[in-house]
Amino acid sequence: MPQKIAKKDLPSTDSVAAAKPLLEAIEKRNAAVASAREAATKDGAVVKHDPQYRTARKKLKRAQRKLRGELIRVHNVPVKAVPPPPPEPAPTPTPAAAPEPEVAAAPAEAAEPAAES
């Protein structure tokens, strides 16, 4: 006897951004199935082999499979751990008694040696 596979604990459709358009498609497909079911009802029973009803059901099931596949994909994607922010470096104390020496810029004429010989 085959082993039973445990059901996956999938995320809700509200928490998955890519599921919203799929949910809209499923709602549209449900409406199509309802109208096709009414058209396929004869003598109070649904004729399941009616072509419009079968295609409407297939489109609904396809949309549901896409939604489930997206939920499984999101469930299986590993969540990247956000690294903690780096610690701020400790401020280095600056000695107040030793000011930085000022370097005077020498004029450009004095920097070039005199080539008068």
The residue among 94 and 9 whose pLDDT is bigger is 9
Sign of CA dihedral 11, 14, 16, 20: positive
Q: Mind listing the pLDDT tens digit for each residue in 73-96?
A: 998 887 666 667 777 777 776 666
Domain that holds residue 61: 13-73
pTM, two decimal places: 0.60
User: Is residue 107, in this structure, part of any structural domain at all?
Assistant: no
User: Is residue 27, in this structure, part of any structural domain at all?
Assistant: yes
Report the domain count for the chain: 1
User: Is residue 82, in this structure, part of any structural domain at all?
Assistant: no
Tokens of 73: 């994909």
User: Is residue 58, in this structure, part of any structural domain at all?
Assistant: yes
Closest-CA residue to 28 (of 50, 59, 65): 59
Q: Mind listing the pLDDT tens digit for each residue in 41-54?
A: 999 899 999 999 99
> What distance separates the 2 farthest-apart alpha carbons in the chain?
123
Cβ burial, residue 71 (10 Å; 0-12/13-18/19+): buried
Tokens of 59: 């489109």
